[in-house]
Amino acid sequence: MARYTVIVLDGAGAGALPDAARFGDEKAFTLKHVLEKTGKNGIPNLIKAGLLNIDGMEMEGESQPMGCFGKCGSQSKAKDTTSGHFEMMGLIMEEPYVVFGEEFPERIIQELEKRIGTKVIGNFPASGTEIIKDLGDEHCRTGYPIVYLSADSIMQIAMHEEIIPIQRQYEICQIARELLMGKDAVGRVIARPFAGESGGYYRTERRKDFALDPPGETLLDKLQQKGRSVIGVGKIEDIFNRQGLTEIDHTKNNQEGIQSVIRYLKSDFEGLLLVNLVDFDMLFGHRNDAEGFKRALEEFDRYLPEIQGLLKEDDVLIITADHGCDPTIEGTDHTREYTPLIAIGPKVRKGVNLGIRKSFADIGATIAEAFDVHLDRGCSFLKEIRLP
């Protein structure tokens, strides 16, 4: 009974991709820069697994790592969460969802205001925590939702929970989702509820993502069709719009996500446990907080031995990311990077350098081969990691 667990450290990039300059990200290297700034103490288990042995880290690694290690390139021409997860699961976005850049066109804003029956404010790129500082008072005075953008294919709408009830917030975002389709389709519309008073506004954990169905079959669909369990933890259900999932645990932070992993690994299932740990990106990468990012690595590291101890004979744990979000360089957006690749398990070889893979889809292809299903994209490394 094989179980593959893929834990995505959201935003934990492993160095600028060859085309990173096109995105303004040629200086990005999230993991290396965080460790250079904060030190490599506190993550002994990740280091033992081979994190520092990954190409380009340029730090003293383990002479005999307990896992296989490498990094994955990207074939999708984007650096967002949706494209990253889709590619990882075998679906490469040949035409990424539209990114509006500096503002949504007036035609979209006017139509949104017409449909929701009120004006909106904002409509510029911003950090979610900063925009509620800047526009929170105006929002509370007028009741106008705050619309803002980032370098991703998303529309984010911030609303105070005491000004606009949470269900109405979700309704407004669903209306925006229905508007942003066709040639204007964005990957996600995100409700960003906040609370507090002037000078002390803070985002709550009642965020909700309104996504689109993946534009093709993913590994999740293939495994579900074969009768395997496909469990999504964290924002996985939002990213895949529930498609291909047999079970969902919508955890809201890293601690909840890690505890969910432990609970599922204590149970019996055969298939895929796909986990997104969002705090790296949401709380620290986007806020240029390298110290916080390191603390999140340390927290995950503390639980890694317990997670490993729950792996059964045929289980494999894969640790990776979906893009970069370098908190040490200028800007607060995602960064166009390779992603780390670490594989651990009772029957996984030790110390194998998997090199620089061409695509995130190599992860999906490896799991597909293990469960005897076919993906059109990706190159499996199953034979490289598995003991006879």
- If asked whether residues 262 and 371 sit together in one domain, one would say yes
Taking only the tens place, the pLDDT of each residue in 197-220 is 999 999 998 999 998 899 999 999
Residues 6+ apart with CB under 8 A from 43: 51, 297, 298, 301
100 inside domain: no
Task: State residue 128's pLDDT score.
Answer: 87
Nearest alpha-carbon partner for 373 in 154, 252, 218 = 218
Taking only the tens place, the pLDDT of each residue in 215-246 is 999 999 999 999 999 999 999 999 999 999 99
Pairing of strands 316-320, 353-357: unpaired
Task: State residue 312's pLDDT score.
Answer: 97
Rounded-to-integer distance, Cα 77 and Cα 99, Å: 12
- If asked whether residues 134 and 150 sit together in one domain, one would say yes
| Mean pLDDT, residues 167-185 | 96
- If asked whether residues 45 and 142 sit together in one domain, one would say no
Nearest alpha-carbon partner for 213 in 234, 192, 244 = 244
Taking only the tens place, the pLDDT of each residue in 69-89 is 999 999 998 899 999 999 999
Q: Is the pLDDT of residue 315 over 80?
A: yes
Task: State residue 376's pLDDT score.
Answer: 93
- If asked whether residues 181 and 226 sit together in one domain, one would say no
Strands (E) across 41-160 are located at 68-72, 121-125, 146-149, 154-160
149: domain CATH number?
3.30.70.1250
For 209, list phi and psi in degrees, rounded to 5. -100, 140
101 inside domain: no
Taking only the tens place, the pLDDT of each residue in 126-169 is 888 899 999 999 999 999 999 999 877 899 999 999 999 999 99
Residue 102 identity: E
* Number of domains comprising the chain: 2
Taking only the tens place, the pLDDT of each residue in 3-44 is 999 999 999 999 999 999 999 999 999 999 999 999 999 999
- Using 50, 70 and 90 to split pLDDT, how confident is the model at 101? confident
- If asked whether residues 280 and 350 sit together in one domain, one would say yes
